[in-house]
Structure 1
Amino acid sequence: MQPYPVPTTREQKLAFARSVKDRLLSLHGDAILAIGIYGSLGRGTDGPYSDIELHVVTQDNVPIQGHEFILPPFKLELSSATVTEFREKARRIDDYWPIRSGSYVDVYPLHDPLSLFEEVKKIPLSVSDEAVKETMKQFMIWEPYETVAKIRTNRAEGNLGYLPTGATDLAWQTAKLIGLANRRYFSTRARTLTEAAAMASKPAGFSALATAVTAGELSDRERVYGLCEELWTGLNDWFSRLGISYMETELPF
């Protein structure tokens, strides 16, 4: 038995995915409405160490168990949902929308007699402007605002070792906001910062901090702190231009 991870070709992964599809259909038959590959293999951008991710969509009254396992040389994640659950997940709008949506848009069908994947791929991109802005507002409160407070607190207390972590968190959180604002999902988490920096609408200061994070140039703590402050100013100016206010003028209750 070979240790994992080991390189495999796209053809090998597709052949294994098809064998899994055949096994599932032999076990569950018509209870399964669709099986498709998502992730990098579904997009056709997989590398030699990419895993295999499968959607398995079932009739509403016949849920089946999902699995995540390693059968060398393959790692496979089998995400199972009833058809109602699958549509609801594709419709969900939250801070992970730019990360998750691609798994519903870029699907390589293995079994889809009802063209379900073609139908569902339109759902994530149909979210309203109001829903996007509300999600951005809530996420700004939940994450970036708190992250900047932690960055300032740790610098004030002399805990400069936290600054690279805080800067990375702030860049990652801002990238998700950029994906939301542009209605664009990322091809992979590994390219989130570079893809966000290339989008049309983004806050001033993001590209500089994203470049520092992706290049690993985080040893100069004061420079890192300055980049975070520049992005924070840019982030608030950007929200203002987008017409998103996340602060209250009085108690909301």
Structure 2
Amino acid sequence: MFPKLRKTTHEERLRIAHLISDRIVKKYRSNVLAVYICGSTSKKLDRPFSDLELNAVVRDLAEIPMKYYLHRGLIIHIQYLKSSSILDDAERFTDNWHWAADEYRNRIVLYEWDGWFRKLDAAVAKSDKADSVEAIRKSFMMMTESMAVMRNAMLTKDRVRVLMSGRVLAEQAAGILLLLNRRYVTTTSWFWKIAFDLDKKPKDFKELVEKMCGFVPTTGEGVVASSERMYKEIYEIVRDHGVKIERDHLWV
């Protein structure tokens, strides 16, 4: 039978989440330190077809594979994360911080053993004070590589690759700006809304994004021109933040 997605209410997701949590604790017993809802459901931003995301924190010696499946029309995603790994990740400020930060800060607790969430909150506090320069440098280097991909595509007149690169560059530019502004994505459907509302960004940021992503009518040449301009303007912001991109010597 063809898989069918079904509309699910927020209250129904919570009910199912509690059932799952009870089964996790019953099955894995003392290996479980915490279970919580993350993602859009944790902030009551879930929509009719949103998935249900849960994190189960387990002891470091436990090896439990993630579960990802469709249950009566609801997409369910359960991650079993080792305690030391999630605490280490939560206190770092990495190039993926704008995507990962939310799940460490917004949650609905379903189960907790021995005050484990106090450790998570302490790790998050360290992340809030961590230096952002290296994360921004790495993110801009990834954008630089995407710029190289676009220029290679221009040389070979690969229009599809040019258009794909424009969207990638736009998303990478937004990611860099999120890091610079220390803003994280609360739900994926709000990604561009959050990015467009940032304080520190190029004045023509939204206009460039719309052309690079094809949100407005444009041409391949228009995508390239907007991408080149975006790259230059993001570099200027990154440079002014104290991030060094080029090296005069071979850095090892």
Partner amino acid, structure 2, of 1:170: L
| Worse-superposed segment, 108-117 or 179-188 | 108-117
User: What SS class does the counterpart of residue 127 from structure 1 fall into?
Assistant: helix
- Uncovered stretches (5+) of structure 2, i.e. residues with no partner: none
Residues 1:185 and 2:184 are matched in the alignment: yes
TM-score, normalization by structure 2: 0.89
Q: Structure 1 pair 243/218, CA: closer, same or farther in 2 (3 Å)?
A: farther
The 2-side partners of 1:53 and 1:128 are apart by 24
Conserved 8 A contact 2:212-2:227: no
3-state SS of paired residue (1:101): helix
Q: Where do residues 50-61 of structure 1 align in structure 2 (5 Å cutoff)?
A: 50-61=50-61
Kindly state the Cα deviation for residue 213 of structure 1 after the two structures are TM-superposed. 5.1
Query: CA offsets per residue over residues 195-239 of structure 1, 9 Å max, x none?
Result: 112111124543222233566225412221111111111011111
Task: Give the match for residue 20 of structure 1.
Answer: 20
Work out whether 1:157 is the aligned partner of 2:142: no
Q: How far apart in 2 are the matches of 1:214 and 1:45?
A: 25
Inter-CA distance 213–124: structure 2 relative to 1 (3 Å threshold): farther
In structure 1, the residue matched to 2:209 is 210
Partner SS state of residue 209, structure 2: helix
Task: Give 1:251 deviation, angstroms.
Answer: 2.0
Query: CA RMSD for the aligned pairs?
Result: 2.3
Distance in 2 separating the partners of 1:168 and 1:122 = 37
Structure 1 match to 2:238: 239
**Distance in 1 between the 2:13 and 2:64 partners?**
23
Which residue of the partner structure matches residue 174 of structure 2? 175
How far, CA to CA, are the matches of 1:153 and 1:27 in structure 2? 53
Q: Amino acid of the residue matched to residue 15 of structure 2?
A: A
SS of the equivalent of 2:132 reads: helix
Opposite residue 198 of structure 1, the aligned amino acid is D
Deviates more, 1:55-64 or 1:15-24: 55-64
| Closer/same/farther in 2, CA of residues 110 and 40 from structure 1, 3 Å limit | same
Give, in whole Å, the separation in 1 of the partners of 2:129 and 2:145.
25
- Which residues in structure 2 correspond to 1:104-115 (within 5 Å)? 104-115=104-115
C-alpha contact (below 8 Å) 2:170/2:209 kept by paired residues: yes
Whether the aligned pair in 1 keeps the contact of 2:98 and 2:179 (CA below 8 Å) is yes
Identity %: 21
Task: Give the deviation of 1:108 after TM superposition.
Answer: 0.7
SS of 2:198's equivalent in the other structure is coil
Distance 1:107 1:230 in 2: 39
How far residue 147 of structure 1 moved from its aligned partner, in angstroms, is: 1.3
CA–CA distance in 2 between the matches of 1:232 and 1:178? 12
Alignment of 1:77-226 (within 5 A): 77-117=77-117, 119-121=119-121, 123-124=123-124, 126-127=126-127, 131-141=131-141, 143-212=142-211, 216-217=215-216, 219-226=218-225
Hey, what does 1:252 align to over in structure 2?
A: 251
Structure 1 distance, partners of 2:19, 2:53, is 14
CA displacement at 1:125 relative to structure 2: 5.5
Structure 1-normalised TM-score?
Answer: 0.89
Residue by residue over 1:149-174, the C-alpha shift from the partner in whole angstroms, topping out at 9 and shown as x without a partner, is 22223224322332221110001111
Superposition deviation, residue 193 in structure 1: 2.6
Q: How many residues were matched structurally?
A: 252
**Residue 95 (structure 2) pairs with residue 75 (structure 1):** no
Task: Summarize the Cα distance change of 1:148–1:167 in structure 2 as closer, same or farther, 3 Å threshold.
Answer: same
Q: Distance in 2 between matches of 1:97 and 1:40?
A: 17
What CA deviation, in whole Å up to 9, does each residue of 1:231-250 have, x standing for no partner?
11101111121111110012
For the residue of structure 1 that corresponds to 2:98, the secondary structure is helix
- Specify the alignment match of 1:41 in structure 2: 41
